[in-house]
Amino acid sequence: MEKDLQVVGFRIGNETFGVRIGSVREIVRVTEITTVPNAPDNIEGVINLRGKIIPVMDLRKRFGHGEIVTDKKNRILVVELDSKLLGLIVNSASEVLKIPPSEIEPPGTVFADGESSYVTGVGKLNGRLIILLDISKLLHRPEFKRLEEAAEIVATVS
């Protein structure tokens, strides 16, 4: 029998999303976020993660949730992308879910083209639907392209 897919489940609005457990480094409480002027809209700012400065993106804004209510259950999901860390603000995150491969549907049937790029599939677990995400694809959008050029400048500062 094939091994179950292990994902970290988190909630945004009414939906449950899942990212592969291997790409999640840790989950922390929402701390003070330092705003960076002139940074892209999706990036809330930077936080201090035990001496490391990492950028934070609000996934709720990224997924177009207009109304953002801050509460104590909010968490920052710290994920690793190309050996760089990135924080994602989510409504709540707690459980590790095990989804049998047989219960995973390809995304094409459910999502429109635009969104399906970062959705890798939809898992079914105990009657719940879990949208599986590929974090690296979340960043692959035209608006982030120009920033790669700017990164050069930052590199020389370090």
List contacts with other proteins (CB under 8 A): 32, 34-40, 43, 45-48, 51-55, 57, 84-86, 139, 144, 147-148, 150-151, 153-158
Q: How far is the CB of 84 from other proteins (least distance, A)?
A: 5
Which candidate, 3, 20, 8, 4, places its Cα nearest to that of 96? 8
Looking at residue 62, what DSSP letter applies?
H
Q: How far is the CB of 115 from other proteins (least distance, A)?
A: 20
Q: How far is the CB of 107 from other proteins (least distance, A)?
A: 25
Nearer to other proteins, 88 or 122 (CB): 88
- The token pair at 16 is 């449950």
Nearer to other proteins, 113 or 148 (CB): 148
Q: How far is the CB of 29 from other proteins (least distance, A)?
A: 13
- The secondary structure of the chain in percent helix, strand, coil, rounded to multiples of 5, reads 25, 45, 30
- The token pair at 95 is 């459980």
Nearer to other proteins, 21 or 39 (CB): 39
The residues, ordered by sequence, that sit 6+ positions from 115 with a Cβ below 8 Å of its Cβ are none
